[in-house]
Structure 1
């Protein structure tokens, strides 16, 4: 009995890390996002501080650029028979608001610097109270904050280099019910015996970025490398509430299933972005980008509880993944620009670790938007539809999920972009 409850508590703690993996964000500027994020070879505005710091060396003056993305996602789960009888459940509606705020300054024709604040890992997912997977996850909220000072040098009229430091801080809140069941989990309905809440703040993680941009007539080439960042969660609060069940006294007497502290760590992966932009004519431009994420850093998660009996390791077994991006922009008038983009995004997650906390899949993203410039000010709006399609943890009639919670997931998301910029 202790072993079964232990497994439940362990699953609670590992969810914080897996959540960040599948919901990494790249939408930190309305123009860039409307172009499908295919902007590593462009130096259009101060959001270059995030997408390619080297591009700042080709910009002039002092620029402020701020924006927000409104994200509405919907997830559906259909349980795998015979245990869950093809039951259908939808996640609750939530709006999430990652930001991108930048301030840059050109000190000379060859040197520029700036700072950006973004939160590339900042979504959440909440399921209804009667959802069978509430013993895996009921509610999760993760926020990360990247504070990134950057510099850029133009070492040739056509070539610049840049880079900076990433100072990263994360917070996480997780809630789920605890299930007492036979091993392995979910082979019978089991008995819900309590509720577990985890809240934690990480220490400061440090990473770096390095980039390059080359421009020649109508052609430009961009490259960005962003190094992995480790966030350590020390002394996180695990609050355990036992329900009034026949097992309550026995479980309480074990002395380990009580409010306590726990430690773990999340590693956000390194990634490379490379792209080429071509200005077809004075109105039309197109860019193709390729991105590669080193997600294999997320293989096994070690968990250190205040009570050593609960210490364990959790398998995730992520693989490296790629993205392919294309963006087109067309100048409708001197002040108005139309934008469109497409992304094919491979998931790093195997079906064995896909869960109600993170139902990830290969994605197809479609985006468009408009930008308006008047004097020194600019405004941008855009929209993106993210289609996850369907993905099941069952293959050839066999459930593959590591913990036996099998079913089919279907997900989609709507993203709305807004920004304001000014050259001072």
Structure 2
């Protein structure tokens, strides 16, 4: 690998990393983010583990790095418009009902991501994927009926995933690499103060950040021309989050000092199948399992006192995502896509909170890619998520209970995602290795 190649590979990763400053929003169950590829969005991420998400398939299965000959970089930019409202119902504390619904809790967010693959020999590849595997921004009105349970919630993450892929033979590839992850959260809520009118409750907060390391691994099998089967694994990442907790009375915050919390992100297993039906048509199938049940009751511990001073009763369940998509080469330069997915999320009535009014959803997507030149490929995709309506209950006898203040509500959520992508082929791959068996784009 030449010095110029090394610099270009590093630059591709650095550009994606710097651009992550605006990441946020949640579109993959709980606070997970699936928006790592504009191409993948067009087929509802079906077959992402078998190469259906382009170079960015590395996120789901690092072994897909061996599918693309030569030196290629891909950047995607996704705008997630999350919309939702929490409406109090009978069962909410009577004194809070007049403060009404949350208003719009969703916040639009831009999520960049990128991936680069480089072929060293006829059997060895290296690559890197950068993106935000987790993110969330919800912000109800300052004073609403549930302000003691949520005023704002922000989760930000950034992951670097360098990988090494090896083609064992003509039909089997394996790959693995570390996952270096940054995680930050800030949670705010109203704090009940005796003698203070509920609408004038001051705010308290919990915030902290952490770096953690995990790994990714994967296998890709191409048993016949036009068929690709992939299985990828992303490990849990342990975060020892260090931060602070704030109260209206500064003496309380000083007494507690710095706080910490242990949080383990979920493992992910992705399975993908891509099958060519004819020379211009491909079907993609996808399945993802996320071990969200790792996130139980997260304790907030005072470093100075060594005791638990607060907690986040997440108590998530495992999530499952099923998807199907199709690609059709309208012409040598234009490929069209469509997909459908069902997301069985880790949140239901037992653990739904005002911070994250999530529910099962159905995803419908369309997209396309246009080959501008031999080196440049442009992609655009759109998806809409239909969320099931949900019910929320907090207060006495529930995991979420602040001062025995009851909150009963219904939730109404939807999401739109628009993603654009740009791929650049740095070299002439035809001179390095045969074209990929499965797809042109």
- Once the two structures are superposed, residues 278-328 of structure 1 have per-residue CA deviations (whole angstroms, 9 ceiling, x without a partner) of 100111101111111112111221210246465355433222221101111
CA apart distance, 1:20: 9.9
Matched with 2:260 is 263
* 2:283 paired residue among 286, 305, 311: 286
SS class of match (2:147): helix
**Are positions 1:77 and 2:86 aligned together?**
yes
CA apart distance, 1:399: 8.8
Taking the aligned partners of 1:288 and 1:181, their CA distance within structure 2 comes to 56
Q: Which runs of 5+ in 2 are unaligned?
A: 1-25, 427-441
Q: CA RMSD in A?
A: 2.7
Matched with 2:137 is 124
Cα–Cα, structure 1 residues 352 and 402, in superposed 2: closer, same or farther, change >3 Å?
A: farther
**Higher alpha-carbon deviation: 113-122 or 344-353:** 344-353
SS class of match (2:69): coil
Cα–Cα, structure 1 residues 399 and 369, in superposed 2: closer, same or farther, change >3 Å?
A: farther
Matched with 2:208 is 200
SS class of match (1:328): strand
Q: Flag as ranges the 4+ runs of structure 1 deviating above 3 A.
A: 18-21, 84-89, 189-193, 257-260, 306-310, 312-315, 398-402
Whether contact under 8 Å (1:181, 1:190) holds in the other structure is no
Q: TM-score, normalised by structure 2?
A: 0.81
Cα–Cα, structure 1 residues 344 and 71, in superposed 2: closer, same or farther, change >3 Å?
A: same
User: Number of aligned pairs?
Assistant: 387
Taking the aligned partners of 2:331 and 2:27, their CA distance within structure 1 comes to 43
Taking the aligned partners of 2:217 and 2:336, their CA distance within structure 1 comes to 30
Taking the aligned partners of 1:274 and 1:21, their CA distance within structure 2 comes to 17
Taking the aligned partners of 1:400 and 1:366, their CA distance within structure 2 comes to 34
**Are positions 1:177 and 2:176 aligned together?**
no
SS class of match (1:120): coil
Cα–Cα, structure 1 residues 54 and 257, in superposed 2: closer, same or farther, change >3 Å?
A: closer
Taking the aligned partners of 2:297 and 2:185, their CA distance within structure 1 comes to 19
CA apart distance, 1:180: 4.0
Q: Which runs of 5+ in 1 are unaligned?
A: 1-17, 183-188, 243-251
Counting only pairs closer than 5 Å after superposition, residues 124-163 of structure 1 correspond to structure 2 as: 124-163=137-176
Matched with 1:23 is 31
- Once the two structures are superposed, residues 201-260 of structure 1 have per-residue CA deviations (whole angstroms, 9 ceiling, x without a partner) of 21x2111111111111222211011111112211x1323335xxxxxxxxx7xx435583
CA apart distance, 1:172: 1.9
SS class of match (1:131): coil
- Once the two structures are superposed, residues 137-189 of structure 1 have per-residue CA deviations (whole angstroms, 9 ceiling, x without a partner) of 1122211011000011110101111121100011222222112479xxxxxx8
Taking the aligned partners of 1:301 and 1:129, their CA distance within structure 2 comes to 25
Whether contact under 8 Å (1:277, 1:287) holds in the other structure is yes
Taking the aligned partners of 2:173 and 2:308, their CA distance within structure 1 comes to 52
